[in-house]
Structure 1
Amino acid sequence: MEPATRSVGEAKEQADGRLAGKVAVITGGASGMGRATVERFLDEGASVVIGDLNADAGHAFMAELNQAGCGERARFSRTDVAVEDDVAAMTELAVEAFGRLDVVFNNAGIGGAFGPITELDVDAWDETFAILVRSVMLGTKHAARHMIPQGSGGSIINTASIAGVGGGAGPQAYSAAKAAVISLAQTTAVELAPHRIRVNAICPGLIFTPLMHSGNEAQAEEVMRETQPWPGRGEGADIASAALFLASDDGQFVSGQQLVVDGAMLAAGPRIHGRMHNTRNLHRTAGMAYGTTGKAATVRRL
């Protein structure tokens, strides 16, 4: 088992490793689960393009990687994952910089639209689906455009959520969007299987990231203790380990699956929605949460 947290310094140049010679694109790669996966993939020998809307966070991360001595195997691309030209440019950068594309991790996400169903803003609903679902379609589309002619297969990994499996783990728009991500992974897995391109979804539970705790770490840990059977909190490194399995040859016969990584939370019946400090008063507010993108949330009191 890998340690729960990893430093950038551990991601040194590797001549071997489970991803040696492979090239990956990871969206939402400047923070949280995406950042942990970038570090793990670099540590395992991959070259990585980091896609993120937050340019400040992306450039700061690249500076750390350069200082750690592994910046030659990393590139940053400021990417709005809901914009096709941005996604196309991000995947092109991987091929231009490193010669091929083997893995795409469609991980970028936001909290999205929230509030009572009677008060949800339709534009916020549409934007949530653009960032959480259209992005996965675009990432899959442009990954396949490079992987198919290469003729050596590939792995596409999508971040879904236990919120997409049943009620009680997230607001309506977020949960519905993540259910769509799971379905899209299944349908594209069937379509791309003849090309030896695997498509899977990871379904995290509560993972301790800036998107999850929104700055209130103590309250987030309290909710984890109350709702998650497993002792100890979920970390970005836990998702990175799951992504590594799906990206590597260890997962070569795994496709069309949803891999739940949640400390048995789903098995126990999630009761998360409305318990976090940033969701506790959703019956009295409505708006749009943008997570770690650098965009401020909008909140309307009812």
Structure 2
Amino acid sequence: MKIEGSVAIITGAASGMGKTLAEKLVSLGGKVLIADRDVSQGSALAEALNKEIGSNVAVFHETDVTKWKTLEAAFEKAKDAFGKINIVVNNAGITESSSWFNDNDAGEESCEYMTLNINLVAVAKGTRLALKYFAQNPQVGEGVVISTSSLYGLYNSGIVPLYAAAKAGVVSLVRSHSLARKETNTRHVALCPWFIDTPLLEGTFREALTASSIPVIPQEPVIDAFIQAIEDDTLNGAVLTVFPGGTEIIRENIYSGNADQLKMVRAMETSIIEHQYALAKEARKL
């Protein structure tokens, strides 16, 4: 996909990596909707980008990614402002604020496990809205959904188990949705970065990394991986790891011992997907 002339929705784009990605896409000729809860920083970023480019290339929408209606409104605002959507980046995320011995942390809002709600459930909601839009609007071309996972999406964690479970779920979600690329007019990519130099690391995590001599990578290689995920149309169901040693593409693992069984499952799923698609078209939902 060409970034020039494209329109992206980025959640969690008022600061950190989302902000840097928004700036990069605009610099390459794209347009962005900044979806974030931070009205002050989000509005300021949109204003700064528009002033820098000299035209309307960015809009801000106050968005709580855990609320379907505000996410849905972000999609509507992007369509109203720019006429279309091409890219959806599920980027908003938080760290774990409670543990097994402290489940009454105020940050979890009465033990609702916001870590799971923001890092996984919100990604599922943003992806569903994207699928619906791209499937119903083939004239805009194939869309791409990029979802931010983590190194903990690939490896277990004893210190942030809810975060790791959510990020592993993001990888599974991306790989699963990628199987209906033809029917949904959408391809999917997951990014699994190492520890990145963003505000999310502040506090105990950054101190622990420093004490353990664990490196932190800058945002630039992660942003480059986002650009690669957008521009390379061969990437679908792929996971891009961005570690200190560089970026690697991981495809779905198929072990020789279960390859035949997996083929049977895939064949069954393909027939169901095609049937569901045919029914949706008949009901004029697509």
Contact 1:24 1:48 in 2 (8 A): yes
Q: How far is the alpha carbon of 1:193 from its aligned partner?
A: 3.9
Q: Does 1:207 align with 2:190?
A: no
Please name the residue that 1:64 is paired with. 48
2:237 alignment partner, SS class: coil
Unaligned runs of at least 5 residues, structure 2: 249-286
Give the root-mean-square deviation of aligned CA atoms.
2.6
Match of 2:243 among 262, 266, 271: 262
2:97 alignment partner, SS class: strand
Structure number with greater CO (CA < 8 Å, separation at least 6) is 1
In structure 2, C-alpha distance between the alignment counterparts of 1:68 and 1:265, rounded to whole Å: 31
Alpha-carbon spacing, 1:265–1:39, altered in 2? closer, same or farther (3 Å): closer
Match of 2:173 among 180, 184, 196: 184
Q: Does 1:128 align with 2:115?
A: yes
Q: How far is the alpha carbon of 1:70 from its aligned partner?
A: 4.8
TM-score, reference length from structure 2 = 0.77
Letter in 1 for 2:144: S
Greater shift in the superposed pair: 239-248 or 167-176: 167-176
Match of 1:84 among 60, 68, 80: 68
In structure 2, C-alpha distance between the alignment counterparts of 1:129 and 1:55, rounded to whole Å: 23
Match of 2:144 among 152, 155, 160: 155
In structure 1, C-alpha distance between the alignment counterparts of 2:36 and 2:230, rounded to whole Å: 20
2:94 alignment partner, SS class: coil
In structure 1, C-alpha distance between the alignment counterparts of 2:37 and 2:44, rounded to whole Å: 13
Match of 2:59 among 62, 66, 75: 75
In structure 2, C-alpha distance between the alignment counterparts of 1:34 and 1:158, rounded to whole Å: 12
Please name the residue that 1:244 is paired with. 227
In structure 1, C-alpha distance between the alignment counterparts of 2:20 and 2:89, rounded to whole Å: 12
Contact 1:52 1:77 in 2 (8 A): yes
- Residue by residue over 1:76-129, the C-alpha shift from the partner in whole angstroms, topping out at 9 and shown as x without a partner, is 0110001000110111111111111110000001113332x3543584453221
In structure 1, C-alpha distance between the alignment counterparts of 2:39 and 2:62, rounded to whole Å: 6
Match of 1:222 among 204, 210, 215: 210
Q: If each structure's helix is expressed as a fraction of its own residues, which one has the higher value? A: 2
Q: How far is the alpha carbon of 1:18 from its aligned partner?
A: 4.1
Q: How far is the alpha carbon of 1:54 from its aligned partner?
A: 1.0
Please name the residue that 2:98 is paired with. 114
Alpha-carbon spacing, 1:258–1:239, altered in 2? closer, same or farther (3 Å): same
Contact 2:93 2:119 in 1 (8 A): yes
- Residue by residue over 1:186-245, the C-alpha shift from the partner in whole angstroms, topping out at 9 and shown as x without a partner, is 11111234344111110111100111134997x47735x8223xxxx4222322211111
Count of residue correspondences: 242
Alpha-carbon spacing, 1:161–1:70, altered in 2? closer, same or farther (3 Å): farther
Contact 1:51 1:77 in 2 (8 A): yes
Greater shift in the superposed pair: 204-213 or 167-176: 167-176
2:117 alignment partner, SS class: helix
Identity of aligned pairs, percent? Answer: 29
Q: How far is the alpha carbon of 1:170 from its aligned partner?
A: 5.1
Q: How far is the alpha carbon of 1:143 from its aligned partner?
A: 1.0
Unaligned runs of at least 5 residues, structure 1: 1-16, 268-302
Letter in 1 for 2:176: T
In structure 2, C-alpha distance between the alignment counterparts of 1:195 and 1:129, rounded to whole Å: 26
